[in-house]
Amino acid sequence: MKLAFIIDPLEKLDPGHDSTVAIMEAAQKLGHEVFVTSVGDLAVINGQAWAKLAALRLQPVILVDGHWQVSQPWSELSESQWMALTECQAVFMRKDPPVTVQYLYATFILELLAPTKTMVINSPQGLREANEKMYTLQFAAVMPPTVVSLDKGLIRQFLEEHGAAVLKPLGGKAGEGILFLDPGDRNFNSLVEISTQHGKEPVMVQRFLPEAKEGDKRIILLDGDPIGAVNRIPSGAEFRGNMAVGGQVAPTTITSREIEICALLKPKLQADGLYFVGIDVIGGYLTEVNVTSPTGIREIDRLEGVRLGEKVIYWLEKQF
């Protein structure tokens, strides 16, 4: 197959961490052609979706003493050229958040592809509808108490009711901008003003889960089914477990409660064409559904001795 990956600049990717690189490596290993492009290199020509694609060759990472060893250089790009995306069997949309206007326009271009001929992972419509914070609210039965608002009074009322809370920007990623709210913090008003852009953007506020100190579990779902998980444990005085802010990773298992959460999500994820998803679970509560470029594959592979990227490609092969 020919597979196109819409990514951030290649030099910004960490081959020892990024799930995108793991999937591309797996595709190459299994005999498929890998091409890369960016959201700015998509176009519509004669009513068809096109992209400026560059063929990519990867030097796979190697696991040595429990750590990924990366060769330098680890990638080789050919000269890019315009190609109709209909020539590809699948397009992986793996651009990191935030979801900008340019990102949204890219999804409209990808919408021109017939899913029976060129599969987009994840589906353009699903990506537009599934804000990674707001989408989670469709599964409120398994979430901690949550409010979404830009009103300081409402957020204050929620905070006093629940004792402590976590504030999350709706467009953030990798733990960026997440704040711990304490009812006695005299900076409360300022924190909310800054986070809401002075009353212009709503934020999500969730009851603080003390179980967070034991870890924030990332579970990878493929077509709605869990295929692996990793626990991200806050380090030092940091309350966030995200790997991007220094959270330590540890092996874990998927509990019966988490299997129930995955089963609850599966029909909706499948209906929305959200095939590759990472959910976050703390203390048996669903806190986020990540659909744009969820990470975790490399860490699960390293800790469990598996190759989830290959599972993704094997699954993709069965779709054709």
Widest CA span in the chain? 60
What mean pLDDT, rounded, does the chain reach?
93
Residues noted as catalytic: 133, 168, 218, 232, 240, 280, 288, 290
Question: Tens-of-pLDDT digits for all 320 residues of the chain?
Answer: 999 999 999 999 999 999 999 999 999 999 999 999 999 999 999 999 999 999 999 999 999 999 999 999 999 999 999 999 999 999 999 999 888 999 999 999 999 999 999 999 999 999 999 988 899 999 999 999 999 999 999 999 999 999 899 999 987 765 678 999 998 888 999 999 999 999 899 999 999 999 999 999 999 999 999 999 999 998 766 565 555 555 689 999 999 999 999 999 999 999 999 999 999 999 999 999 999 999 999 999 999 999 999 999 999 999 98
Full-model pTM: 0.92
pLDDT digits (tens, 9 = 90+) for 255-281: 999 999 999 999 999 999 999 999 999
124-180 pLDDT, tens digit each: 999 999 988 899 999 999 999 999 999 999 999 999 999 899 999 987 765 678 999
